[in-house]
Chain A
């Protein structure tokens, strides 16, 4: 049987087909003023009926429901929902720490999935990849429409890992470049020496709902280490001598759990979401068994 040519190396065609039918489910409707696919809370001019109200002098006569007027002999104005555009910002941590395991690969695949969902929902999608501290993140400018899919895939496919950009600083750097409300998907391991409160606040203040996805490899989730080791930080090159590592694994798990709880709390307090995933999981499992079940996408 002749094999079908893959549209992108990030996703196979079947997965891409399923992703195209998925939609992001933000908890709040943080939209831009410009018209889009997302219904705004206020009334608008879309085709989707919202409510009736009494006619008031000055209302557009075209919106009076004549059928009701004929039955009740009183004018009522039909109200329609207002649809606004939502900005999907995807922030990929492309620092050296993401090289371990399948973290970076999965981050790019998830970014592609979220971007496809955004594009297929006629959202503006922009991607930021943060590598080296102090440098401007690599940016894929906001793009919309199915036609931009190839551009997004190309950007992600050519994205190399490496660098020492901590995620807390990366968020700040991204927000300097970005304007617009919507959803910010942060794909990172969130292993940083800095505090995450400030970047979370900034995201929240910028009108972005936080979709925090922590991707960790097996070495981080369940390190099977023992003996005396000298740990070398992949980003900074700093070393740390640790003796009897095997005896400290329990404490490590405690701190990892604490970090995840802390990040989840930060996101939740800012109307966001947080999820930790094993980068070793298959992408389909991530999409269907994790994101869909948890109501991140539909």
Chain B
């Protein structure tokens, strides 16, 4: 591409300037083949004098007399210049390949007033302008970013394709997360040279981004939306008499510097529905920038679905956060499987309330909430939380080896839920897991494990989250350590019980955020069909354990899973303080650089070929009219 200085027109296809050579034959043929009507007059004597008059032969008069030629030259020049692809340089550095990241998270649906435009509409306008100003050798790739990134188009200069992709783009009612989009653009830079990436967003993104920018980021920030009130948290905690349900409603805060809409105290109506039946209605007020906490008591002995709806009396720019869903499970004892041989654990568990311990008097269920095991070939039901003791699992056998020897804990993560309030200092351990040669902590991370405690020679306790199942791996047997004699051991077992109870939603329950539904357990290898709001539909198949993960939930609303033993209804709510607050960051902080938002119009080179083509058409019409116009005074 040829570029010229600031604000000077440049040409993308300079080679077409050769067509200017056509001017020579044009002029020659004009004078050779000029079609003039003949008019017999008495004498040329006077007209000869007129033609040879000095005034008539002034350059301007000559041009005026050859107006047809002038039009033809202008027409040809317009067409050639148009073919040379002129553009008006704005001084912005040109990027041949330009990825455009368009934020389509929930906050982009915020309107700037009643019947106003959404942020996404504004973003679409900006992108359309970019597409319109696309130069012939420029390629644009559109990427939508919400909680994940999605490539809408490949690098293309096909304006129709790009415009279609833009028109198809909808708001995804999920919180925004930029990293995926930035990484996708980085991955593209391996294929094409990418200097600049354009990000069009309302600024409602995390300001701290853990990503090393390998390119320039042009952050185009959209205007502020109007004020908003929304539910940012909806959860329940088990109480003695039932469930205490909590909801948190926030109003937008006016940004610093009096930018954005002013926030005022907003009166809201709310309605709580249980299984579709309204159980409470009231009003509350929330101040802009503050939060209001709503507390309800729900007494139920069975699983129930709660839905909270709020209705602000003032204009509310975002509607997706005005409703929240909460699934409350049926109360039941925690099912724990602990083999008969693990007496220390069974003793500790036997003293704890609300536990069904297996094997026992009752028949063994297919699945339990917590399972203890002391060997790799353990039998028993499937469990959400596994507590393996005294062996190295197969996938770690080449990383660590369990040998006999004396060791002790040198460090452990005191904040891990399992080890909270558990003192491991001076615990003597008769098993000594040793790292294989050349193996480090990184290898365990790659295998999906997190080290919770370690000795001098290797890890002792590992944690892994696998297919919705939480596994704790004790590489030593607690029975061959002094831990079982300490007060920390029953606390450890109690922590495991708490973790399992939480995983089974027996202690508390939180509203499911949009993005992805929580893993569901149905019968193994069963195909299901998921339907949701806005016509969302998806099919999936459970694995051999009967777990279905990765079910998408891009919209706020109720999702229904059919195809399993019985239909399931799960609600998904926005539950994002950031999205509801419509907080717009002015600066994105990356590890080494910061990118300041720019609300000005994106500088792009203005292609001018259309104007020249239009001028060519105009000259063609004028020339045709002039050519067809019969000279007056000449008899037909």
A213 to chain B, nearest CB (A): 16
Give the chain B neighbours of A68 by CB distance below 8 A. none
* Chain A, interface SS category: mixed
The smallest C-beta distance from B302 to any residue of chain A, in angstroms, reads 97
Residues of A contacting B56 with CB < 8 Å? Answer: 248, 251
Interface pairs (6), CB distance under 8 Å: A191-B45, A193-B48, A220-B41, A227-B37, A243-B65, A247-B61
In the assembled complex, the Cα of A243 lies from the Cα of B631 at a distance in Å of 10
Considering the complex, give the chain B residue whose CB is closest to the CB of A239.
B38
Partner of A230, one of B38, B51, B55, B64: B38
Closest chain A residue, CB of each to CB of B627: A228
A231 touches B65 (CB 8 A): no
Chain A residues within 8 Å of B68, by CB: 228, 243
Shortest B56–chain A CB gap in Å is 6
Beyond the given pairs A226-B632, A227-B37, A251-B55, 13 more chain A to chain B contacts, judged by CB atoms under 8 angstroms and listed by A's residue number, are A100-B41, A191-B43, A219-B42, A223-B633, A228-B37, A232-B39, A240-B44, A240-B48, A244-B65, A246-B632, A251-B56, A255-B46, A256-B46
The CA-CA distance from A242 to B65 in the complex, in Å, is 8
- Chain B residues with CB under 8 Å of A79's CB are none
Point out the residues of chain B lying under 8 angstroms from A236, CB to CB: 44
Query: What 9 A-B pairs come out closest when comparing CB atoms?
Result: A227-B631, A191-B43, A97-B42, A243-B65, A225-B633, A230-B36, A233-B44, A226-B632, A232-B40
For the complex, what is the distance from the CA of A243 to the CA of B633, rounded to whole Å?
A: 14
Q: Which residues of A contact B67 (CB under 8 A)?
A: 243-244
**Least CB separation from B35: chain A residue:** A228
Determine if A97 and B43 form an interchain contact, defined as CB atoms under 8 angstroms apart.
Answer: yes
Cβ-based interface call for A83 (8 A): no
Check if B50 sits within 8 Å of A225, measured CB to CB. no
| Complex CA–CA separation, A259 to B50 (angstroms) | 12
Distance to closest chain B CB from A187 (angstroms) = 14
Are the CB atoms of A247 and B42 closer together than 8 Å?
no
B residues within 8 A CB of A245?
631, 633
Q: Does the CB pair B65–A234 fall under 8 Å?
A: no
Cβ–Cβ < 8 Å partners of B601 in chain A: none
Q: Looking at A219, A223, A230, A234, which has the most chain B CB atoms within 10 Å of its CB?
A: A230
B58-99, CB under 8 A of A: which get 1 and which 0?
Answer: 000100111110000000000000000000000000000000
Task: Assess whether A251 is in contact with B45, with CB atoms less than 8 Å apart.
Answer: no
- Measured in the bound complex, the distance between the Cα atoms of B573 and A125 in whole Å is 123
CB contacts (< 8 Å) of A255 on chain B: these are 46, 49-50, 53
Which B residues are closer than 8 A to A by beta carbons?
A: 34, 36-51, 53, 55-56, 61, 64-68, 629-634
A 84-117 contacts with B by CB, 8 A = 96-100, 103
A-B Cβ contacts below 8 A, count: 120
Are A234 and B40 neighbours in the complex by a CB distance under 8 Å?
A: yes
Q: Which residue of A lies closest to B66 (CB)?
A: A243
A 157-200 contacts with B by CB, 8 A: 189, 191-193
B57 to nearest A CB, angstroms?
11
Q: What is the bound-complex CA distance between A245 and B495, given in angstroms?
A: 106
| Identity of the chain B residue whose Cβ is nearest the Cβ of A101 in the assembled complex | B42
Q: Does A25 contact B (CB under 8 A)?
A: no
Find out whether the CB atom of B632 lies under 8 angstroms from the CB atom of A242.
no
CB-CB under 8 A from B49, the residues of chain A are 255
Cβ of B34 to closest chain A Cβ, rounded Å: 7
Q: Answer whether A228 and B34 are a contact pair too, CB < 8 Å, given A240-B44, A244-B67, A246-B632.
A: yes
| C-alpha gap A227/B66 in the complex (Å) | 10
Please, which residues of chain B bring their CB within 8 A of the CB of A193? 45, 48
Q: Is A241 at the interface (CB under 8 A from chain B)?
A: yes
Q: Is A235 an interface position by the 8 A CB rule?
A: yes
**A249: nearest chain-B partner, CB-CB:** B50
Question: How many residues of A are in contact with the other chain, CB < 8 A?
Answer: 43
Closest A residue to B632 by CB, please name it.
Answer: A226
B39 contacts A251, CB within 8 Å? no
Shortest Cβ gap from A94 to chain B (Å): 13
Q: Are B41 and A219 in contact (CB under 8 A)?
A: yes
Q: Are B44 and A231 neighbours in the complex by a CB distance under 8 Å?
A: yes
* B631 adjacent to A225 (CB under 8 Å): yes
Task: Look across to chain B and name the residue whose beta carbon is closest to the beta carbon of A100.
Answer: B42
What is the distance, in angstroms, from B632's C-beta to the closest C-beta of chain A? 4
Closest chain A residue, CB of each to CB of B61: A247
Provide the A202-215 mask, 1 if CB < 8 A to any CB of B, else 0.
Answer: 00000000000000
Verify if A224 is at the interface (C-beta below 8 Å from B).
yes
Q: Is there an interface contact between B42 and A251, defined as CB atoms closer than 8 Å?
A: no
Please determine whether A251 and B43 come into contact, CB atoms closer than 8 angstroms. Answer: no
Q: Name which residue of chain A comes closest to B36, CB basis.
A: A230
| B44, A229: Cβ atoms closer than 8 Å | no
Contact between B629 and A234, CB atoms less than 8 A apart: no
- Asked if B634 and A229 make an inter-chain contact with CB atoms under 8 angstroms apart, the answer reads yes
- Greatest chain A CB density within 10 A among B48, B56, B66, B633 is at B633
| A244 in contact with B64 (CB, 8 Å) | yes
B37: chain A residues at CB < 8 Å are 227-230
Indicate if the CB atoms of A234 and B55 lie closer than 8 Å: no
- Whether the pair B50, A248 counts as a contact (CB closer than 8 A) is yes
Per the bound structure, the CA–CA distance linking A236 and B41 in Å amounts to 11
Bound-state Cα–Cα, A197 to B53, Å = 22
Contact in complex: A224, B633 (CB < 8 Å): yes
> Of all chain A residues, which has the CB nearest B631?
A227
A189 contacts B47, C-beta separation under 8 Å: no
The answer to whether A217 has its CB under 8 Å from any CB of chain B is yes
